[in-house]
Amino acid sequence: MLTLPLDAFLPHAGRMRLIDRVISYDEQKIICESDSHRVADHPLAEDGVISIVCGLEYGAQAMALHGALMAASSGGGPVRRGYLVAASNLRWSAARLDACAAPLIIEAISEFRSENQVAYRFEIRTEAVAVLTGDARVQLSVPDGSPVHETGL
């Protein structure tokens, strides 16, 4: 398990930092763990319910963390902000994340990477049961922080 300050690698801080730990990562994938879906004052909860759709944010944070760790390990430049532009092939076996008693395991697998875009397949599970799976595409900002407008993914 990786022990480092995750706040330095994630675009969100405080209660919106949903990932608690990195279990493992390599060039192709990252596996993270989170207990944040069980806190009473979860920032994405509505009337105490965390919809399964909020799992997209967990997946997106795992993707951002993977990109930042890859940039840091390769000695690359500053981490570029990403914007989730598409989610597809979503499948879920639960209606709400807060009903999951076990820690969430978030796995993101890099499927495509170009200079300005990345695509990942992700899975959120508790123990051996997948509660949300899907694909996500992220548009990366240019180095000055402004978004890039490009097609082709």
All domains of the chain in start order, with CATH: 6-140 (3.10.129.10)
Report residue 11 CA to chain centroid gap.
10
Write down the pTM of the prediction. 0.87
What is the DSSP secondary-structure string of 48-109?
TB-BGGGHHHHHHHHHHHHHHHHHHHTT-SSPPPEEEEEEEEEEES-SBSTT--SPEEEEEE
Q: pLDDT tens digits for 92-149?
A: 999 999 999 999 999 999 999 988 999 999 999 998 899 999 999 999 886 655 554 4
- Quickly tell me which residue has 């989610």 as its tokens: 87
Among 111, 106, 129, 113, CA closest to 121? 111
Mean pLDDT score, 9-14:
79
**Choice between 19 and 147, residue whose per-residue pLDDT is larger:** 19
Among 94, 84, 24, CA closest to 53? 94
Sign of CA dihedral 108, 75, 112, 8: positive
